[in-house]
Amino acid sequence: MKAKLLTRAKQKVKQKVKQDLFSQTQNRLTFRYSALLMLFLLLFVFIVYALVYVVVSNSQQQNLNSMLKQESRIVQSILIKQAINSSNQQSKEEYKNIVVAGEDQFFYYVISPEGDLIMGNEASERLRSNLLDLIDGWIPIENEVRKERIKAPRPSFEHIEGVKGQNGEGKIDIDLMMAGEPIFYKGQFLGMLYIGKDVSFLYQLLKWLLIIMLSLTVLFVGVAIYISRLMSKRAMVPIETAFQKQKEFVADASHELRTPLSVMLSSINALEMQEEVTEDPFSKKLINNMKAEVKRMTSLVSDLLTLARSDSNKVEKAMMPFDITDAVQKVMESVETLAISKHIDLQLDTPEKLVVTGDQERLTQLIYILLDNAIKYTTPHGSVNIQVVQHGSECILKVRDTGVGIHPDEKDRIFDRFYRADKSRSRQMGGHGLGLAIAKWIVETHKGKIDVESEQEKGSTFTVRLPMSQKVKKS
């Protein structure tokens, strides 16, 4: 009981997951349109953000370099005065406390040729050692700008115990943009001027700008998918219309061709009984050729009509219990003449009786297609084996042959309509590439599964799995 419920559940899931050709095509178009729109959005976000970043960064660098030039002149004049009054110790201390940093500056330092701090100032005295470590040994080239990040006490929490910041206890990250310039007087190197600017606020704005733009991109993804769905749906309209007309044409043409073909076959049968035909070898040969071609055309029209009905989902299935073993034996009797003509050994491995629920006519057609296909593609003096077994709640039908086999690249296509692996050989054998497509359709309408295993020049095995019981009704 559990096995039956599990099997039914799996089949329902497969039916829900499975989509027809048009749905799959529309989904692929939607995915491609969406991908293109999202790629455009991401490219737009990247270009806009890159432009804003470059403009802001260059603006800050130019501002920093301009500030450096101005303060370099101020510091140079101070250092010259200090050099002139170098004998006055009180003057040195006075210059050391001079503040020349502007509002936007985070620090400025003047370092002597010996590496000592001549003068300087910073936003927080606690950071002096950290800032001096940043510029230690740095000899900037012309217009060089350096970007660094340091940790600083959070101003509003600096004196409150037990308050923790996001990057440590009372600490925040500060982004600095630094520049430096040597100071000379009459060819003599007086020292290096370093200045730094706090650009944390601007970097935070850029960060939030990126977050906002990415958030808008995510928002527009839904819009892109919706627009792509509409575009793909509109693109599919003429294709579906053309396909529908094609199906109707095939169904109508197949239906209309059945009557004249039946009349032709009846007329040929009547001609065969004429004495003039039976006595004339040439006429008899012509009649036989005509009869064979009419039968082939009748079979093709019948297959086309079956597939046309399957596309329209208007095929009725007479679901009822029947003995599938008996159906297999009758099909084997019908193809026995063809097997004998090719010296092929037919082998049957079935239980005495195995009752399944399904459309007896369709399942008999399925067995005939598989056996006929196996015999056609099996070389003379080969063998064809058909096996029917019950496995749990499934009926397993296997048809093995010792034929030419199927190339691995063609295994996924043999169930396509009008596809023939070896076209020249198929024409000689009278195949038109619809048999396996019909077989797959019959299996799927019975909620079953068909697989093939094959090895070239060694043969093929077609395996059909059908549920033993289904709803007994016409659908």
Q: For the chain, which residues make up each domain, given as ranges?
A: 30-198, 317-467
Tokens linked to 339: 């097997």
Is residue 286 within 8 A of residue 280, CB to CB? The reply is no
Range 203-231 average pLDDT: 85
pLDDT of residue 168: 47
Tens digits of residue pLDDT in 277-287: 777 788 778 88
What sections of 86-176 are H helices per DSSP? 89-96, 128-135
Strand partners, 178: 146, 196
Range 161-187 average pLDDT: 71
pLDDT of residue 161: 45
Strand partners, 333: none
Q: Are strands 145-153 and 171-185 parallel, antiparallel or unpaired?
A: antiparallel
Query: Which of 45-49, 268-272, 396-400 has the largest mean confidence?
Result: 396-400
Tens digits of residue pLDDT in 294-319: 777 777 777 666 666 666 655 566 78
Residues 30 and 148: their CA atoms lie apart, in Å, by 46
pLDDT of residue 451: 92
Range 115-123 average pLDDT: 85
pLDDT of residue 166: 46
Tens digits of residue pLDDT in 233-288: 887 788 777 777 766 666 666 656 666 777 777 888 777 777 777 777 887 788 87
pLDDT of residue 262: 75
Residues 441 and 239: their CA atoms lie apart, in Å, by 23
Question: In 3D, which of 417, 370, 440 has the Cα closest to residue 250?
Answer: 417
What sections of 85-198 are H helices per DSSP? 89-96, 128-135
Q: Tell me: pLDDT of 463 over 90.
A: yes
Is residue 194 within 8 A of residue 135, CB to CB? The reply is yes
Dihedral pair phi/psi, residue 401, rounded to 5° = -140, 165
Q: Tell me which fold the domain 317-467 belongs to.
A: Heat Shock Protein 90 (3.30.565)
Is residue 191 very low, low, confident or very high in pLDDT (cuts 50, 70, 90)?
confident
